[in-house]
Structure formats: structure tokens, C-alpha cells
């Protein structure tokens, strides 16, 4: 036991030291943070990270002729990683908000979408955002949907529940009355999964997603390069192509 413990320790030490010498800021490697838990934008099947965001960022890297390195972490940790310089950007359907714009530099939007209320199938009490008065509504921690709900004139009457993950599951189980997510991924969840859910009414706010970068020298440079690459992909029709593949529709245009 002692010997295997020593071995494990040595392995661990090697791992930790190897990690310490981790690649720093480099102009040849784009480090992209994502949750890996947001179907169909970023998710894992059979140990393979995939999704719309993965394809977009790989295409961006191809245009720029750089390496792309995906870093997955809980969503609530992603902005901390960006802030502390561990990643260069976040590709996780990040919505442009005033607060984020004040702090980060965004590329031009590459996804246009809307906020959508989703309920358990058969729940006809809620048919839109107005019906959320007096209801329990789940949103993801750190997402902007919580903000959107709080800006509603009747926000006081909504019982907003903030989740780390699995809001679809808790709505399907009936623990909360509804959840709010973007329309595109909500439709995908309903279509692709066995969870008993339905869209409740029309989207209630336009959402524009883009890639945020730190407002420092390296960040500004990356933003320019990535923005140019996205424009190229849009011109070549590749952005639309990737969208068609995942969503059957072009979500990259307003």
C-alpha cells in the first residue's frame, strides 16, 4: 500500500509541476473557456467535446491559423478564468449586456436569439412571461436571464431560483414552474431529450451573443483577430453552415 501511495504521490507531483509550467499567453494559442454542459452549444458525448460553439471556434482558429485549446469549467467559474488570464475568451453563448460591455470587449454578435419561458408539458397556466407572477422560475447562475427577469416591471412578484445546472430537469420534475433560457437551446432540449417540457409563448427579449475578451493589450489584439475571422466565416457562408448543421436554421443573423 505504501509503495502504491508513493507512486501515486510522485505521479501527482509530476502532474502538479507539469501544470505549473502551463502555457502562458501566446499569440499562437487561443484558449477558449466553455461549460461543456449547455446542449447543443457545448456538451460532451462519449468523452468528445462538441457543439455549435466548438465548431465555430475551430473554424475561427483555422482562419487565423492558430491552435485552439478548449478549457471546460462550471459556468460560474468561466468569467473568473477570463478575468484571471487563464483563458482568452468564453464561447458559451455569452449575451452582450451593459455591465459586461463596460468591462469586456466583445466581437460583433454571431448569434441572435430571444429569451424563452419553458414549462413542464401540460402546464397551461403559463403561456408567456406575464404569467410568471407568483411562480417559481429557475435560471442558471451567472447567466443574464436572471437579470432579464429582474428588469421586468413585475419582477418582485416572481420567485427567481438560481441554479448551478440542471434547470431543465427540475422544471420537468415540477420542482419549479418554469425556467428561462434562450429560445434556440430551449427548442433543442425539447426536441432532443425525453424531458416533458414545452415552450410557453413567444420569446420576450432579443439576445445577441458574442465573444468577450479582456480589455488589455493581449485581449484587444485577440478581439481584432477573432472579429475579423468571424467576419470572414460569415462572408464565406460557413457560419450559417455550422448553424444549419446544429439547429436546422440560421441563428447567426438577426
Partner 1 sequence: MAILDVGYMVELLPILLRYLPLTLQMAALGMVLALALACALAVVRVLRIPGLNGATLLFISFFRGTPLLVQLFLFYYGLPQIFSALTQINGITAAIMGLTLHFAAYMAESIRAAIVGVDRSQTEAALAIGMTRGQLMRRIVLPQATRVAVPTLMNYFIDMIKATSLAFTLGVTELMGATQKEAAGSFLYFEAFITVALLYWGIVELLAWLQRRLEARLNEAYQR
Which residues are near partner 1 by CB under 8 A? Answer: 1, 5, 8-9, 11-13, 15-16, 19-20, 22, 24, 33, 35-39, 43-47, 49-50, 71-74, 76-77, 80-81, 83-86, 165-166, 168-169, 189, 192-195
Closest CB to partner 1 among residues 46, 235: 46
Q: How far is the CB of 151 from partner 1 (least distance, A)?
A: 27
Cα-based distances in Å from 104 to 14, 75, 163: 36, 17, 24
In terms of Cα–Cα distance, which of 126, 125, 118, 124 is closest to 197? Answer: 118
Closest CB to partner 1 among residues 166, 232: 166
Asked if 230 and 157 count as a contact pair (C-beta separation under 8 A), the reply is no
Full DSSP string of 4-22: HHHHHHHHHHHHHHHHHT-
Q: In the beta sheet, which residues pair with residue 69? A: 31
Closest CB to partner 1 among residues 23, 27: 23
**Where do we find the cell 502555457?**
23
Q: How far is the CB of 98 from partner 1 (least distance, A)?
A: 22
Closest CB to partner 1 among residues 142, 201: 142
Q: How far is the CB of 81 from partner 1 (least distance, A)?
A: 6
Q: How far is the CB of 200 from partner 1 (least distance, A)?
A: 20
Q: Centre a 10 Å sphere on the Cβ of residue 67 and count the other Cβ atoms it contains.
A: 12
Amino acid at each position: 500500500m505504501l509503495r502504491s501511495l508513493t507512486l501515486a504521490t510522485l505521479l501527482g507531483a509530476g502532474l502538479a509541476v507539469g501544470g505549473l509550467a502551463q502555457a502562458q499567453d501566446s499569440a499562437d494559442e487561443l484558449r477558449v473557456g466553455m461549460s461543456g454542459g449547455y446542449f447543443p452549444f457545448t456538451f460532451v458525448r462519449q468523452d468528445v467535446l462538441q457543439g455549435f460553439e466548438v465548431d465555430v471556434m475551430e473554424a475561427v482558429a483555422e482562419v487565423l491559423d492558430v491552435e485552439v485549446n478548449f478549457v471546460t469549467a462550471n459556468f460560474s467559474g468561466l468569467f473568473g478564468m477570463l478575468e484571471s488570464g487563464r483563458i482568452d475568451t468564453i464561447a458559451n453563448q455569452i449575451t452582450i449586456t451593459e455591465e459586461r460591455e463596460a468591462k469586456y470587449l466583445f466581437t460583433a454578435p454571431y448569434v441572435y436569439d430571444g429569451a424563452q419561458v419553458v414549462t413542464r408539458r401540460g402546464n397551461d397556466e403559463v403561456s408567456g412571461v406575464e404569467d410568471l407572477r407568483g411562480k417559481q422560475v429557475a435560471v442558471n447562475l451567472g447567466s443574464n436571464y436572471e437579470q432579464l427577469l429582474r428588469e421586468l416591471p413585475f419582477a418582485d412578484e416572481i420567485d427567481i431560483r438560481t441554479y448551478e445546472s440542471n434547470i431543465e430537469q427540475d422544471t420537468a420534475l415540477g420542482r419549479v414552474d418554469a425556467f428561462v433560457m434562450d429560445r434556440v437551446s430551449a427548442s433543442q432540449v425539447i426536441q432532443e431529450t425525453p424531458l416533458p417540457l414545452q415552450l410557453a409563448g413567444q420569446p420576450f427579449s432579443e439576445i445577441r451573443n458574442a465573444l468577450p475578451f479582456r480589455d488589455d493589450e493581449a485581449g484587444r489584439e485577440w478581439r481584432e483577430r477573432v472579429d475579423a475571422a468571424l467576419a470572414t466565416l460569415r462572408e464565406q457562408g460557413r457560419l450559417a453552415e455550422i448553424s444549419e448543421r446544429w439547429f436546422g436554421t440560421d441563428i447567426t443573423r438577426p
